[in-house]
Amino acid sequence: MKLPVDGVQAFVQIAELGSYRRAAEALGLTQTALTRRIQKLEGFLGLTLLDRTTRTVRLSPMGEEFLPLAARLIADFTHGIERLRTTSRLAVGDVTVATIQSIAFRRMPNVLRAYACDYPQNRVQILERSGALVTEAVRKGEADFGIHIQQEPDADLVEDRLVCDPFVLICHRGHPLAGRGAVRWAELGDADLITLGGASGNRHRVEAQLRAAGQPPRGRFVVESTPTAFALVSAGIGAAILPAALQGASQRDDLVAVLLIEPEISRTISLVRRRNTSLTPAAAAFYEMLRVELSGGFG
Amino acid sequence: MKLPVDGVQAFVQIAELGSYRRAAEALGLTQTALTRRIQKLEGFLGLTLLDRTTRTVRLSPMGEEFLPLAARLIADFTHGIERLRTTSRLAVGDVTVATIQSIAFRRMPNVLRAYACDYPQNRVQILERSGALVTEAVRKGEADFGIHIQQEPDADLVEDRLVCDPFVLICHRGHPLAGRGAVRWAELGDADLITLGGASGNRHRVEAQLRAAGQPPRGRFVVESTPTAFALVSAGIGAAILPAALQGASQRDDLVAVLLIEPEISRTISLVRRRNTSLTPAAAAFYEMLRVELSGGFG
DNA sequence: GGAGTTTCATGCCAAAAAATCATGAATTGA
DNA sequence: TCAATTCATGATTTTTTGGCATGAAACTCC
């Protein structure tokens, strides 16, 4: 069963304009086409909707009765479809992103500013999650997509690798290592090190690396949050080992970052979203902006 | 701009059945056709509605959002169209007929009974109007159509001549003229005549005819209503000159009708409806039944 | 883990539907 | 009465749609 929408649309237009010719013009068709549409519709319905002579067009009683409904059906449909197209074209809608803190701190603000400029009516909600909780939020659909440290592949998720975020040594301008282009892990023995604590994957990797370099992680400062680490460094307590992405989180210009090498270890920042689920236009636009912006690497 | 109804319909069906194949079956199409429809719809909208692998189909976020609306749009349209078709096929609806009394009395009941049998859910309203008021009711749209005595042609109305309704002499079984097959107007001089009064066209025609036959209408009985006339005749007061159509209005079997001739004058009973306006299916059905039934003539 | 089955997508073609052009018929109005 | 306007119709072209055969991916069942 095929719905005679064209016919109904033609009927409404003709009824409203009182003329085949004008309706045809309004619809961008020929008058002939409308004649055929109406004939087909009336044939399908088995009744007369328009009483027409060669000169005039008027609604039949049934047409009179049907017109309000018909007009509403067409209007509803048109508006519904049109709203969808607008949503698509302008990428209207809300976006929810789950992200690890480092990105939220450092790079997100720029992207958010640009996105707000391009899509002023869209709201963006940022879920700050640590570690595996990003993928969790994405998997559960709480977030449209996420930004996190790449982990082992997940059957339900698909990742877009963006950039490697190497670990760096953040030290005070006056620190002995501050002038170096890079520092070997093995050279860290002399420094008072500050590391991030908590259950984060970062801590484990850093401690593992220190052990491997023959630098047992004893007597170091372990802090809970990035701002604290910066504050300690700034106060000259020691140097901090952090992902480069966090570097800009401090507003301080008395700090210097030095790349840690031999080996250079890094986290891979990835965009992650559900496999087999497309993003909404609004989310897709934001996703794309993030991808482009974050591909620039960390300098 | 062409509304993508097919696509939306396909989308709804697929979403509800969770499968192209099953949806195709339900719609009486091949799976290929649905694939094409969805592709076209998504292209038109500029977004993804269904996330599909070769094996599974699921709603995308936008699809999820659109489905309720889409389903309602399709359902509304389908129901609206379906109701119209039913109205047409079963001629559902109310009918209003304006008619002169004689028809309402004599022939209408049979037709009404038959119509009520064929279209039990339809209500029929009978407007009893005298003379020109029938056409008035039809012209104003108060009645779908009318039954009346044919008059001069009217530009706004179109008539279907049904049957001639000759004037007859209604007399008591024992009346001297009761046995005759026909009676000349000129022979009425001896009889005590009863005629219908009021402003009806009948009265004028009868009196004109009597005058023409050299029978001035003096000292006759003039009554206001048909039943009274019958009662007088039945009581032996005299004979009544009435249209044959009224004959059966009495339930009496002691009365006899004799055709009046030389000349035989008659009223032409017509169905009348607005020109350039089609009848509703319900009215058309009733109109047709009346036409057939009343073409039988008056016996 | 491999074979078979199921499911959606695609290339190509046929069928069907829709639109158009040219023209006709009826009505209006100068 | 003539010109102009308006809707209908027949023939034709264009566009759209559906279908078949086939492919690729993924699930199931030994």
Nucleotide C7's nearest residue (CA vs C1') is: B55
The Å distance, CA of A26 to C1' of D15, is: 21
Nearest CA in chain A to B89: A46
pLDDT of B202 > 80? The answer is: no
In the 50-89 stretch of chain A, whose C-beta falls under 7 Å of nucleic acid strand D? 52-57
State the nearest Cα–Cα gap between A276 and chain B, in angstroms: 6
Contact call for A88 and B281, based on CB within 8 A: no
pLDDT beneath 50: ranges in chain A: 299
| Whether A182 contacts A244, CB under 8 Å | no
75-94 of A, contacting B, C-beta below 8 A? 76-78, 80-81, 84-85, 87-89
210-249 of B, contacting A, C-beta below 8 A? none
Phi and psi torsions of A222, nearest 5°: -120, 120
pLDDT of residue A206: 72
Contact call for B62 and A84, based on CB within 8 A: yes
pLDDT of residue B276: 81
Q: Indicate the average pLDDT of chain B.
A: 83
Q: Quick one: pLDDT band at residue B299, thresholds 50, 70, 90?
A: very low
pLDDT of residue B41: 96
Taken in order B197, B199, B203, B208, the sign of the CA dihedral is positive
Model pLDDT for residues B10-51, shown as the tens digit of each residue? 999 999 999 999 999 999 999 999 999 999 999 999 999 999
How many residues are recorded in chain A? 299
Q: Mind listing the domains of chain B with CATH numbers? A: 5-90 (1.10.10.10), 95-163+268-294 (3.40.190.10), 165-266 (3.40.190.10)
pLDDT of B277 > 90? The answer is: no
pLDDT of residue A200: 64
Q: Quick one: pLDDT band at residue B255, thresholds 50, 70, 90?
A: confident
Among residues of chain B, what percentage have pLDDT more than 90? 35
pLDDT of residue B82: 93
Contact call for A277 and B87, based on CB within 8 A: no
pLDDT of B88 > 70? The answer is: yes
pLDDT of B135 > 70? The answer is: yes
Specify the range with the lowest mean pLDDT, choosing from A55-64, A135-144, B143-152, B222-231. Answer: B222-231
Closest nucleotide to residue A55 (Cα to C1')? Answer: D6
pLDDT of residue B247: 66
pLDDT of residue B218: 54
